[in-house]
């Protein structure tokens, strides 16, 4: 089957040999060349060929999915996850749960002793949540920016866009932050206002004194904030640029303030799966940066983190922790996503290795010098779970067993069979370290191969309830003790 796929691409492009990782991008390059040279007739030929190629690829995806034999999802969790031999995939497993949203009255299944209700609904692709000191909740309604007109077309990206649209990630970005206020404390929002608009795929938010910082996809910007305000109309002030174009493969940029308010830490995901687009466009990416607010200077804090998202301070150790989405296309059980404490100057492997010194042989040239110093992450969160949101629990509303532990929003897999993630999970901590297996807090997001919702950002509100964004259900869920 692999040879059939390779031959199909060769027939529609040119007889030169392609390396396996180059086949899809080569197809797109030839597409643009032919359309430019041949006019409408060539474009028609391309349409016929891409239709045929689509049929071939989809057929092989189905065959590959049928052959997949995954380990139990739990094997990819903990301090010592099971790491089987890599299974290099020409065509990755594709097992997308079609996004449908919740039926009337539908909601996730809460863990024993807890209950869940909608805090706010009818949002527009809510990705991240941030709680202000007065209890107001900010929600980043956002999605990836439109492609840059200078980006080279790619058949690989076309297929990824097709599947991601089915998974609910194809909607235009609302580019705004909405304020939610529960004035009477009943757990349901009464006031909803557009707090900030005309942003650029916003994600992370952080309040330092009277300044609200927002991480757009291409820069950190600052706005003046007054407690109790329901909107901000002032123009933004740019603090620092963040790596973005070209491609901007991982567009989400998160931020968190240091405990003393003098610095921000900003996440920037990679521009590829494993460097297949060239390492020159990975400069400053797959990393966490430190931003000095007084000078506006930015420095590399930690690297080799393929796609870091969640950021939180562990209350017992005081260490910065992050959640990271790892690489794809070497099997259903590789590589586990993870959460880890982040060391200043630390290197965590990407793209040359994973979980320490496990070398990814797809990367050329290899870098044994970097592999030798790659740090093993603290805690695996399961292969392809797309673990994004992260919040440590320091409140007292929930039972005592949750104190100091981590809530993690798992967006869910698109390329594993059986699927993984699609949950809000909890990892207990003792003395600043993970201390046990994960526990399902909210589940039931996939029913009959349909994704009713997908967990993303997590926060703890002023009353101590856990808030979780659901970017398919377009809801913010609120978890409290069962009555």
Same domain for 100 and 7?
no
Does one domain contain both 52 and 92?
no
CATH number at residue 335: 2.120.10.30
In a domain, 82, yes or no: no
Give yes or no: residues 227 and 337 share one domain. yes
CA-wise closest residue to 471 among 115, 73, 174, 145: 174
| Residue 78 forms part of a structural domain | no
Whether 364 and 404 map to the same domain: the answer is yes
- 12 and 105 share one domain: no
- Short-list 135, 193, 106, 226, CA closest to 477: 106
The two three-digit tokens of residue 360, written as one number: 């990814």
**Residue 471 belongs to some domain of the structure:** yes
Q: Which two tokens stand for residue 470?
A: 């659901």
Supply the range of the domain harboring residue 30: 2-67
pLDDT digits (tens, 9 = 90+) for 400-424: 999 999 999 999 999 999 999 999 9
Cβ(110)–Cβ(116) under 8 Å?
A: yes
- Integer Cα distance of 372 and 367 in angstroms: 9
For residue 137, give the nearest of 72, 70, 188 by alpha carbon: 188
Query: What mean pLDDT comes out for the span 438-458?
Result: 98
Q: Are 164 and 251 in the same domain?
A: yes
Residue finishing a domain among 67, 97, 112: 67
Q: Would you call 219 exposed, middle or buried from its count of C-beta atoms within 10 A (0-12, 13-18, 19+)?
A: middle
Q: Are 73 and 42 in contact (CB under 8 A)?
A: no
Banded pLDDT at 36 (limits 50, 70, 90): very low
Backbone angles phi, psi at 250, to 5 degrees: -100, 105
Does 81 map to a domain? Answer: no
Are 63 and 92 in a shared domain? no
408 closest CA partner among 477, 322, 333: 322
Q: Is residue 170 part of a domain?
A: yes
Q: Is 305 exposed, middle or buried (0-12, 13-18, 19+ CB in 10 A)?
A: buried
Q: What is the pLDDT of residue 89?
A: 77
108 with 218, same domain: the answer is: yes
Residue 67 has a CB neighbour count (10 Å cut-off) of: 10
Question: How would DSSP label each residue in 347-369?
Answer: B--TTTEETTTEE-TTSSS--HH
Tell me how crowded residue 69 is: count the other CB atoms within 10 A of its CB: 9
Residues 95 and 19 grouped into a single domain = no
Calpha distance 265→314 (Å, rounded): 15
- Is omega for the bond preceding 418 within 30 degrees of 0, making it cis? yes
Local confidence band at 157 (pLDDT 50, 70, 90 cut-offs): low
- Average pLDDT in the 223-240 region? 98
Tell how many helices (H) and how many strands (E) occur in the chain.
4, 33
pLDDT of residue 1: 35
Structure tokens at 393: 């629990």
- How many Cβ atoms from other residues are within 10 Å of residue 72's Cβ? 12
Same domain, 225 and 304: yes
pLDDT band at 130 (very low <50, low <70, confident <90, very high): very high
Please check whether residue 318 lies inside any domain of the structure: yes
Same domain membership, residue 136 and residue 249: yes
How high is the mean pLDDT of the chain? 87
Contact 99, 451 (CB under 8 A): yes
251 and 380 assigned to the same domain: yes
What pLDDT sits at residue 158?
A: 55
The verdict on residue 80 lying in a domain is: no
Which is higher by pLDDT, 168 or 313?
313
Domains of the chain: total: 2
Taking only the tens place, the pLDDT of each residue in 268-326 is 999 999 999 999 999 999 999 999 999 999 999 999 999 999 999 999 999 999 999 99
pLDDT at residue number 147:
80
Strand, coil or helix: what is 55? helix
Q: Residue 135: what are its φ and ψ, rounded to 5°? A: 100, -15
Residue 76: inside a domain: no
Q: If 0-12 CB within 10 Å is exposed, 13-18 middle and 19+ buried, where does residue 210 land? A: exposed
């Amino acid at each position: 089957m692999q040879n059939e796929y390779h031959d199909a691409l060769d027939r529609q492009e040119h007889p030169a040999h392609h390396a396996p990782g180059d086949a899809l991008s080569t197809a797109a390059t030839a597409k643009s060349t032919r359309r430019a040279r041949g006019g409408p007739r060539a474009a028609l030929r391309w349409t016929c060929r891409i239709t045929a190629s689509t049929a071939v690829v989809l057929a092989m995806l189905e065959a590959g999915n049928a052959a997949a034999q995954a380990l139990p999802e739990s094997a990819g969790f903990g301090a010592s996850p099971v790491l089987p031999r890599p299974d290099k995939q020409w065509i990755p497993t594709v097992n997308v749960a079609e996004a449908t949203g919740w039926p009337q009255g539908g909601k996730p299944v809460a863990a024993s002793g807890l209950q869940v209700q909608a805090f706010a609904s009818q949002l527009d692709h809510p990705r991240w949540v941030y709680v202000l000191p007065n209890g107001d909740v900010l929600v980043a309604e956002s999605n990836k920016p439109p492609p840059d007109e200078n980006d080279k077309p790619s058949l690989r990206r076309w297929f990824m866009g097709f599947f991601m649209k089915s998974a609910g990630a194809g909607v235009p970005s609302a580019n705004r932050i909405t304020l939610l206020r529960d004035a009477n404390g009943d757990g349901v929002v009464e006031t909803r206002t557009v707090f900030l608009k005309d942003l650029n795929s916003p994600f992370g938010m952080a309040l330092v004194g009277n300044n609200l910082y927002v991480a757009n996809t291409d820069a950190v910007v600052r706005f003046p904030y007054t407690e109790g305000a329901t909107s901000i109309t002032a123009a933004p002030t740019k603090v620092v640029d963040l790596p973005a174009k070209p491609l901007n493969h991982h567009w989400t940029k998160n931020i968190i303030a240091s405990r003393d308010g003098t610095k921000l830490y900003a996440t920037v995901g990679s521009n590829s799966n494993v460097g297949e687009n060239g390492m020159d466009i990975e400069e400053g990416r797959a990393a966490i940066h430190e931003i000095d607010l007084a000078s506006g200077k930015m420095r590399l804090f930690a690297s080799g983190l393929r796609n870091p998202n969640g950021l939180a301070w562990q209350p017992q150790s005081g260490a910065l922790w992050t959640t990271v989405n790892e690489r794809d296309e070497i099997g259903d059980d590789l590589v586990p996503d993870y959460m880890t404490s982040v060391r200043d100057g630390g290197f965590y492997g990407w793209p040359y290795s994973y979980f320490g010194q496990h070398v990814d042989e797809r990367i050329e040239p290899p870098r044994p010098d970097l592999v030798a110093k790659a740090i093993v992450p603290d805690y695996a969160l399961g292969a392809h779970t797309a673990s994004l949101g992260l919040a440590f629990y320091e409140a007292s509303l929930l039972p005592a067993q949750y104190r100091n532990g981590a809530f993690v929003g798992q967006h869910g897999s698109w390329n594993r069979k059986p699927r993984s993630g699609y949950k809000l999970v909890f990892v207990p901590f003792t003395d600043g370290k993970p201390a046990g297996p994960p526990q399902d807090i909210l589940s039931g997001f996939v029913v009959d191969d349909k994704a009713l919702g997908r967990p993303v950002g997590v926060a703890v509100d002023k009353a101590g309830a856990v808030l979780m964004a659901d970017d398919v259900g377009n809801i913010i869920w609120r978890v409290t003790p069962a009555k």
